[in-house]
Amino acid sequence: MLTIVEKVLFLQEVDIFENTKTEDLSHIAAITDEISVKTDTDIYNAGDVSDSMYLVIEGKVRLHHNERQVMIAQVKDAFGTWALFDDEPRVVTATALEDSVLLKINREDFYDLLADHLQITLGIMKTLSKRLRSLVNRVRR
């Protein structure tokens, strides 16, 4: 099991949290669950209720819709991120490509955390707006 500091070190490298302060990351770390999944296990299926996001600590996870592969989440990648922001059902299925260790963040816990720590919300918004801006710039070019 990872300690809180180890989780923070890991979260520091996840891009959505790049503008979040280390102490705030420790609060996020405190609400994460470390889970292990065996190869070929479905973590969630398309159409499931979205209630958590995941971060890959070890291993690989395949995101696919039926047979069509959408992406492969590797170490430090996050998937199911939109679960944190909307109530829509999952659009893809996530299956472990190999034995993997994941950090799971439950949406309700995350909302509670955001309500208490405005700085975390601001940090995430900063990252999202940066992404949006770079996307707009790319489209302009």
Partner 1 sequence: MIKLVRKLLNINEGEGLKVLLMFSYIFLAIASLLIVKPVRNSLFLSYFGVEKLPYAFIIVAVVAAVFTNFYSRYAKKIRLNILILYTTLSSIIILIVFWLLLYININKGWFYYIIYVWVALFGVITTSQFWLLANYVFNARQAKRLFGLIGAGAISGGIFGGYLTKFLAPVVGTNNLFFFCVVFLLICIVIMRKVWKQGARKTYTERIHQEKRIRRKLTSEKPFELLQKSQHLTYIAAIVGIGVIVANLVDYQFSAIASSIITDKDKLTAFFGFWLSNLSVASLLIQLLLTGRSLKIFGVTTSLFFLPFGILIGALSIIFDPRLWSAVFIKVCDGSFKQSIHKAGLELLALPLPTTLKNQGKAFIDVFIDSLATGIGGILLIIFTQQLGFSVRQISFVLIVFIVIWFYLIKAVKEEYINSFRTAIEKRSIDLQDQYINIQEASVLDNILKLLEGNNERQILYILQLVEDVKNERLIPYFKKLINHPSHEIKIQILRMIRNDEQKDFMKEVRELIHDPNLYVKVEAIRFIYSTSIDGKLELEKLLVDENINIRSAALLAATYEHRENREFRKTFPIKNLFDQFVDKFSETSYELKDIVFMKVILAKVIGISKVEKLYPFLKNLLLDDSIDVVREATMNAGSTRHKMFIPILMQYLIAHEIRKYARNALAEYENDAIAPLKNILENENEDYQLRLAIPKVLALIGTQQSVNLLLDNLAQEDLTLRFQILRALNRLRTNFPYLKFGENRIRNSILRETKIFGKICFYLSNKDLFEIYKNKNIQDTERAKKAVDLLFSLLNERLDNTLSRIFRLLGLKYSPADMYNAYRAITSNKPDLRANAVEFLENILDPNLKRIIIPITEYSTNTYSAEENRLKQKNGIFVELLKENDTWLKVCTIFCIAETNLKDYESEIRKLMRDQDTTVKETAEYALKRLKNRS
Of 15, 30, 33, 65, the one binding partner 1 (CB under 8 A) is: 30
Would you say 94 and 62 are in contact if contact means Cβ atoms under 8 Å apart? Answer: yes
Q: Tell me the window of 47-55, 70-78, 92-100, 109-117 that interacts with partner 1 (CB under 8 A).
A: 109-117
Q: Other C-beta atoms within 10 Å of 55: how many?
A: 26
Residue 28 is a binding residue for partner 1 (CB under 8 A):
no
Q: By rule CB under 8 A, what count of residues binds partner 1? A: 14
Q: Tell me the window of 39-47, 54-62, 78-86, 110-118 that interacts with partner 1 (CB under 8 A).
A: 110-118
Name the H helices within 52-117.
107-116
Residue 23 is a binding residue for partner 1 (CB under 8 A):
yes
Task: Tell me the residue ranges of DSSP E strands in 38-77.
Answer: 42-44, 52-58, 61-65, 68-73
**Dist CA 23 CA 5 (whole Å):** 10
Q: State the nearest-atom distance from the C-beta of 125 to partner 1, in Å.
A: 18
CB contact set of 124 (below 8 Å; sequence gap of 6+): 16, 17, 19, 20
Q: Which residue number, 27 or 90, has a Cβ lying nearer to partner 1? A: 27
Q: State the nearest-atom distance from the C-beta of 82 to partner 1, in Å.
A: 23
Residue 4 is a binding residue for partner 1 (CB under 8 A):
yes
Residues that bind partner 1 (CB under 8 A): 3-5, 8-9, 12, 21-23, 26, 30, 112, 115-116
